[in-house]
Structure formats: structure tokens, C-alpha cells
Amino acid sequence: MRVTLMTRGWRTGLALAAACVALTATLAGQAAPAKKVERQAAPRQPAVTPAAAPAPLETYTYRSEGRRDPFVSLVNRGVEAPKGSKGNGVGSLFVGDISLKGIVQSRGAYLAIVQGPDGKRPFIVRVNERFADGVVKAITADSLLILQEVTDPLSLTKQREIRKTLRAVEEVK
């Protein structure tokens, strides 16, 4: 049987030819018999006594002393961005996505009407009601005050107050 190989380089051709020869020899049953390797008995080592075993190494602990831990990722530094709940309620809305549409007074307390980013369905919120990333702190006759949880890992503050007003504040001239 004759096989002609067309290759780009002589080394590749030589390697392919050697592989073909080895394959045909194996298929024809003419492979060289494997040499028998005799095992020599290894000299016996004396058993190690527990007293002679080395002491375990001391584990390393990092002491920050006011510095940033270099082994903690800067991308996700312990706090992940809150994922909105899978429901369709107020708890699934983010503070930055809502807009204040109205304020109603009921039984001596103010209620705020907010609308999500889709603009389809309004929600009525009360004081201490939670959003995906904040909580309603106060509702006045013309504004809604929300305490938002900051998820920026590099920020020194963990909360900030967001005020949503019904009317845009007019500039005084």
C-alpha cells in the first residue's frame, strides 16, 4: 500500500509519515513486543515516629490595621447590587426608576402615588414601605423622602437621602 502525503513543511510530513508507519504496523500485528521491565525491591525505610514528625505550619492571617484587604475583589466588595423581587409590587422597583405622580392625605397621614419605569401601573406607598434599594422615610404635602442604600463599593457612605418632589423647584431671580 502506498500513501502520498501533501504537507506544508518537511517536519509535519515526517511526523505524519511516522504516525502512519506506526498505525499500519499496529494494524498488521507487527508491533514490536513490549520489553518486560523487572521491578527491583526498594530498600526499606525506617518508620517515622509521631515525635519525629515536623510541626504543622502556622496559617497566615491578614491584619488590615485600617488598610484595604488586598485579597478582596474591588468589583464585588462584599455587597452585591440588590436584585428586585420577582413580584410586581413596590418591592421590585428601584428608587432611581420611580417618579412621584401625586400625594394623598388619608386619615391624617400622607400617601404617595409613584409610578414605575414602564409607566403603566401606579403604586401607593406609605412611610416605612420598602423599595428594592431603599425605604420611604417621610411623606410631606409636596415631596417624598426616601433613604436609599448605596451599593457602590468605593463609596464611604452606605445610605443617602433622595427627595422626589411633585413640582420642579422654580429658580429665584
Check residue 81 and give its pLDDT: 47
Domain boundaries, the chain: 1-30, 90-165
Is the pTM value of this prediction over 0.85? no
Q: Across the 173 residues of the chain, what is the mean pLDDT of every consecutive 10-residue run?
A: 57 73 70 58 62 71 76 63 61 89 91 89 92 92 91 80 80 52
Which grid cell is 78?
A: 462584599
Q: Which fold has domain 90-165?
A: SH3 type barrels. (2.30.30)
Check residue 120 and give its pLDDT: 84
Reference 152, options 86, 89, 77; nearest CA is 77
Residues with Cβ within 8 Å of 125's Cβ and at least 6 positions away in sequence, in order, are 90, 111, 112, 113, 114, 136, 139, 144
Check residue 124 and give its pLDDT: 93
Rounded distance, CA 98 to CA 92, Å? 11
